[in-house]
Structure 1
Amino acid sequence: MDNHHLKLNPGKTEMIFIPAKTSPHLDLSISLGDTTLTPSSSARNLSVVMDSRLSLSENIVAVTRSCRFFLYNIRRIRPFLTPYSTQLLVQAMVLSRLDYCNSLLAGLPASAIRPLQLIQNAAARLVFNLPKYSHVTPLRTSIHWLPVMACIKFKTLVLAFQAVKGSSPAYPQKTIRPYTPARPLRSASTGRLAPPPLRTSTSRSRLLSVLAPRWWNELPVEVRTVISLHLPKLTHLFKQHLSPSLPTSL
C-alpha cells in the first residue's frame, strides 16, 4: 500500500488509511532458487476483488466484463424473447451481479460507478429492444429499476435498519446506534441515528458508521419511523431518483 499507513482500530474491524508523508517502497518479493514470488495487487474474497487501496476499481472492471458477456449472449436470442422474459433473464443474469455486495461501493464518486450504470442502461434498452443512446430514465421507471447509486444507498439503508432492529451481526449494531439525547427532546422520537465522532465524519469518509447514519437521517421522519422495511424506503428512493410520474404503490 504505497504512500499510506494502515491503522487498525482495536476492537473493531474498520480500517483507516492515513496518507504518509514519507513511506519507503517495501519489496515483499520472495526468491526461491530461480523462481521469484511477488505479492499480488489484489485478492478475491467471496467473488469480490479487493485491491490494496480499497478503491474496488478492479472489482468494478470484473463485474462490468461479466455483465457485458451476458448482455451479448442475451442480445443474440432477443428476437425470440418477449419483453417480460427478457426482463426476467436480464434481472437474473445481469442485475444480480450489479447488486451483489454493492454496499461495498458506498461513498465512491459517480465517475467510479459510471461503468456499472452504463451496464444497467444497456440492460434496460435490451429489455425494450431499443437502439443505443435511447433515453433510459423512462425505461427504468416503467420496470421499476433504481439507478446503481440509489441501489447502493438502499442497501446501506437496509443495513442500518437491520442494525437498529437488532437483526444484523454484532459489529454493525456497535457502530450504528439510535440517537439518544442527553435530556428528553422531541427529536428522540424521530428515529434518527447517532452521528459518528467528528474525527471520522469527514465528507470523503466511506465508513459504514459514517455513511449509514448520514443517509438515514436525511430520510423523512415518516420513513425513518415505519416498522416495515421495504416499501416505504424503496418508494421514497423511487420518487427521488426516477420520474415523478411513478405510482406511489409498487
Structure 2
Amino acid sequence: MVAASRKVCDAVLSLQHCLGAVQQWMQENGLRLNPDKTQVLRVGGPVDGGLGNSLMFGGVALAAKSRVPSLGIHLDLMLTMEMQVALVVRTAFFHLWRIARLRPYLDMGALTTLVLALVISRLDYCNTLYVGLPLKLMRKLQVVQNANAAARLLTGVRKYQHISPTLAMLHWLPIRFRIDFKVLMLTYKALNSLGPRYLAERLLPTSSTHVTHTSQEVRLRSLTLREARKERTRNRAFSAVAPRLWNNLPPESRTAPSLGTFKNQLKTWMYRQAFPSS
C-alpha cells in the first residue's frame, strides 16, 4: 500500500513538473493555457487513484475525471472506447438522416461527397484506437457503414440484401480492414523514418532482418506477455498489433520502395482479403 502511494506521489510530481515546463514554454512564446479547462484522467485505475487535489496547475487544483475529451476523442479510465463509439454512431446516423432527406435533389456524386465528408470521415478519424475492441462495438461501427446506413443510402440496396457486393462496388473496405490499414500505414512510416520516433522505438525487427526497405524484407518480433505489461490492453497496443499485421503482409508490400507504392499495394491486398469473390 505504501509502495503504491509512493508511485502515485512520484507520478504527480513528474506530471507537475511537465505541466510547469509546458506553461513556461507557452508563456515564452506568447501563448496561454487555461487551467480551468485542463482535465486529468488516470488510465487503468480508480477515478481518483490517490491523486486527490494534489495536482496543481496555474493555481488551480485539477481533479481527476472518469472521462475526458481529447481532440474529439472521448477517453475513459479503462480505454474501453464505449462512449466514443456511441457518440460516433449517434452523430453518423444523424447526418445520414439529414442526407437521406436530400437524396431526391442530389445526384450520386454529390451524395457520395456528403457521405464521405460527414459520415465515413467520422468512422476513420483516429480509428487506430478501435484496434482489438469487442465484437459488439465493432458491429455498431460497421452498421453505420452498411446495414440501413451509408452504403444503402447511396445505392438504394434494400434492407435484407447482402451488403458485401455493394461495399466492393464502392471500394469501401469494411471497418476492421480500415483500422488495420491505418495501423499498417503507421508501421511503414515508423520503419522508414517517416513517422514519430516513439513509434519506431516500439517496433523490434527479428534477428534475421534489417530495418531498411532497400535490402531484404523486414519482419517484426512479437511482444511476449511479460513485455506487454497491461493485461487489459496488451492485445490492443501498437507494439503488439503492428508486428502481427505487418508479418502477415506479402513480401512485396513489406519491401515497397515508397509510401505511395506501399499504400496502393496495401489497399489492393486488403481489398482482395475483404472481398475474395470480387
Give the TM-score range, shorter chain. 0.7 to 0.9
Matched, 1:132 2:159: yes
Given that 2:89 and 2:144 are in contact with CA atoms closer than 8 Å, whether structure 1 keeps it comes out as yes
Letter in 1 for 2:251: V
1:110-162: per-residue Cα shift (whole Å, max 9, x none)? 22211110000010000112332332101100010000011001101011101
- Distance change >3 Å, CA 106–CA 182, structure 1 → 2: closer
Aligned residues: 221
- Cα distance between partner residues in 2 of 1:68 and 1:16: 30
SS at structure 2 position matched to 1:125: helix
Gaps of 5+ in 1: 1-5, 9-14, 31-36, 246-250
- Cα distance between partner residues in 2 of 1:127 and 1:237: 23
Using the aligned pairs only, state the percent identity: 35
Matched, 1:150 2:183: no
Matched, 1:242 2:272: no
Given that 1:195 and 1:210 are in contact with CA atoms closer than 8 Å, whether structure 2 keeps it comes out as yes
Structure 2 residue corresponding to 1:47, chosen from 51, 72, 77: 72
Residue in structure 1 matched with residue 205 of structure 2 by the alignment: 178
- Cα distance between partner residues in 2 of 1:230 and 1:142: 20
Structure 2 residue corresponding to 1:69, chosen from 63, 72, 94: 94
- Cα distance between partner residues in 1 of 2:43 and 2:223: 14
What TM-score do the two structures reach when normalised by structure 1? 0.78
Pick the structure with more helix per residue: 2
Matched, 1:89 2:114: yes
For the aligned residue pairs, the C-alpha RMSD in angstroms reads 3.1
Letter in 2 for 1:108: L
Given that 2:209 and 2:216 are in contact with CA atoms closer than 8 Å, whether structure 1 keeps it comes out as no
Name the structure, 1 or 2, with higher relative contact order (CA <8 Å, separation 6+): 1
Given that 1:125 and 1:134 are in contact with CA atoms closer than 8 Å, whether structure 2 keeps it comes out as no
- Cα distance between partner residues in 2 of 1:207 and 1:200: 11
Residue in structure 2 matched with residue 3 of structure 1 by the alignment: none
- Cα distance between partner residues in 2 of 1:129 and 1:101: 29
- Cα distance between partner residues in 1 of 2:255 and 2:112: 34
